Amino acid sequence: MKEKIIQKATDLFLKLGFKSVTMDDIANEMAISKKTIYTHFENKTSLVKECTSSILTSITTGIDEICFLEHNPIEELFEIKKFVSHKLENDNSTTHYQLQKYYPEVYESLKETQFDKMMECTRKNLQKGIEMGLYRKNMNVDLVARFYFVGVHGIKDQNLFPIEEFSSKFITQEYLEYHLRGIVTIEGFQTLNNFIKDNQSNE
């Protein structure tokens, strides 16, 4: 039952927002009593924590599987972007904002875990790109990995990027291209252009 509650709550949180969804909403959707939910979760904050942890675990597992396929590093980043976008396709525009505002401790803990995982993955991607001659050799790998992490989080700030002007799909695509264009070699630039064309034709 606990896993079913997490699954349903996660779906609702992503669709409607962490603040907007109440424990009563979850109970009604599942046709169970609110008491049943509290049997497994002390309060809503603990449920939110479990749900966000579940989302992160699912995403990181999928990213690990993509990295295991040994794509070239440029293709790897495009595949990761598509995978994450698909996993969060029901993500409401206010979800990230509500988590940060109303559950700051959960948000900061999640961000810290995400930072560790993303730094590990990005460093490997950058190093592989350098070794294959697709990325510039003279870059500071750790610094660029941190730039990328800050950017990925920064584009979610609706004060900077209002959803009315910049859709999540559009801005994620633009940021990935922005990141790659700053680090590719001439050979990498040709590979990047090919993936941009392929990505546009498949949309």
Answer yes or no: are the C-beta atoms of 125 and 77 closer than 8 Å.
Answer: yes
Is residue 38 in some structural domain? no
Q: What is the CATH number of the domain that holds 156?
A: 1.10.357.10
Q: Global pTM?
A: 0.88
| Domain-located, residue 117 | yes
Q: Is residue 154 part of a domain?
A: yes
Is 70 domain-assigned?
yes
Phi, psi at 38, each rounded to 5°: -70, -15
Residue listed under structure tokens 């498949």? 202
How many domains does the chain contain in total? 1
- Domain containing residue 197: 44-201
Nearest to 73 by CA among 145, 122, 119: 122
Q: Which residues pair with 135 in a beta bridge?
A: 184
In a domain, 2, yes or no: no
pLDDT of residue 199: 66
Show the DSSP H helices in the chain as ranges. Answer: 2-16, 23-30, 34-40, 44-68, 73-87, 95-102, 104-131, 141-154, 168-181, 186-201
- Helix, strand, or coil here: 157? coil
21, part of any domain: no
Domain assignment of residue 26, yes or no: no
The CA distance from 203 to 82, in Å, is 11
Quote the CA–CA distance of 130 and 141 in Å, as a whole number: 10
pLDDT in tens, the chain (203 residues): 999 999 999 999 999 999 999 999 999 999 999 999 999 999 999 999 999 999 999 999 999 999 999 899 999 999 999 999 888 876 666 788 899 999 999 999 999 999 999 999 999 999 999 999 999 999 999 999 999 999 999 998 888 998 889 988 899 999 999 999 999 999 999 999 988 887 665 55
